Amino acid sequence: MKRLMNAVDTLLDESLDGLAAAHADILELGAERKFVRRKVLTPGKVALISGGGAGHEPLHAGFVGAGMLDAACPGQVFTSPTPDQMVAAIEAVDTGAGCLLIVKNYEGDVMNFEMAGELAVADGRTVETVVTNDDVAVPKSTWSTGRRGVAGTLVVEKIVGAAAEQLAPLEALRDLGREVNERTRSFGVALTPCTVPAAGKPTFTLAPDEMEVGVGIHGEPGRRRSKLASADAIADEMLGAILDDLAAPAGSQCLLLVNGFGGTPLMELYLMVNAARRILAGRGMTATRYLTGSLVTSLDMAGCSITVTALDERLTRLWDAPVKTAALSW
Q: Which is nearer to a copy of itself, 12 or 248 (CB)?
A: 12
Compute how many other C-beta atoms are within 10 angstroms of the C-beta atom of residue 221.
17
56 belongs to the catalytic site: yes
Q: How far is the CB of 132 from a copy of itself (least distance, A)?
A: 21
The answer to the question of residue 330 lying near a copy of itself (CB under 8 A) is yes
Contacts (CB under 8 A) with a copy of itself, residues 150-209: 191-192, 208
Note whether 280 and 307 are within 8 A (CB): no
Do the Cβ atoms of 213 and 222 come closer than 8 Å? yes
Q: Look up residue 153 and give its DSSP letter.
A: H
Which of the residues 309 through 328 are near a copy of itself (CB under 8 A)?
324
DSSP designation for 134? -
How many Å apart are CA 90 and CA 127, to the nearest integer?
A: 9
Judge whether 46 and 130 are in contact, CB under 8 Å: no
Dist. CA 182–CA 177, nearest whole Å:
9
Q: Of the candidates 78, 242, 277, 310, which one interacts with a copy of itself according to CB under 8 A? A: 277
47 counts as binding a copy of itself under rule CB under 8 A: no
Cross-strand bridge partners of residue 307:
186, 257
Q: Does 95 bind a copy of itself (CB under 8 A)?
A: no
| Least gap, CB of 175 to a copy of itself (angstroms) | 30
Q: Which of 11, 36, 103, 168 binds a copy of itself (CB under 8 A)?
A: 11
The sign of the torsion formed by the CA atoms of 54, 144, 82, 26 equals: positive
| Residue 230 lies near a copy of itself (rule: CB under 8 A) | yes
Residue pair 54/294 in contact by the 8 Å Cβ criterion:
no
Give residues 14-33 in contact with a copy of itself (rule: CB under 8 A).
14-19, 21-23
Residue from 45, 56, 148, 158 carrying the catalytic annotation: 56
The binding track of 247-276 with respect to a copy of itself, each residue x by CB under 8 A or -, is: ---------x-----xxxxxxxxxxxxxx-
- The CA distances from residue 293 to 71, 272, 328, in Å, are 22, 11, 10
Nearer to a copy of itself by C-beta: 221 or 293? 293
Stretch that binds a copy of itself, among 7-15, 81-89, 97-105, 113-121 (CB under 8 A): 7-15
Q: Which of 46, 47, 48, 54 binds a copy of itself (CB under 8 A)?
A: 54
**C-beta of 115 vs 287, nearer to a copy of itself:** 287
Nearest to 102 by CA among 33, 168, 55, 149: 149
Cβ closest to a copy of itself, residue 95 vs residue 292:
292
Beta-strand pair 303-311/253-260: antiparallel
Q: How far apart are the C-alpha atoms of 191 and 211, rounded to whole Å?
A: 5
Identify the H or E element spanning 97: none
Instruction: Judge whether 223 and 137 are in contact, CB under 8 Å.
Output: yes
User: Which regions of 234-330 does DSSP assign to beta strands (E)?
Assistant: 253-260, 286-293, 303-311, 324-325
- Considering only residues 121, 123, 145, 329, which one is a binding residue for a copy of itself as defined by CB under 8 A? 329
| Closest distance to a copy of itself from the beta carbon of 272 (Å) | 6
Pick 166 or 230: Cβ nearer a copy of itself: 230
Catalytic residues: 56, 218
Which residues are near a copy of itself by CB under 8 A?
A: 2-7, 11-12, 14-19, 21-23, 54-55, 57-58, 62, 191-192, 208, 211, 228, 230-232, 234, 256, 262-275, 277, 287, 290, 292, 294, 297, 299-300, 302-304, 324, 329-330
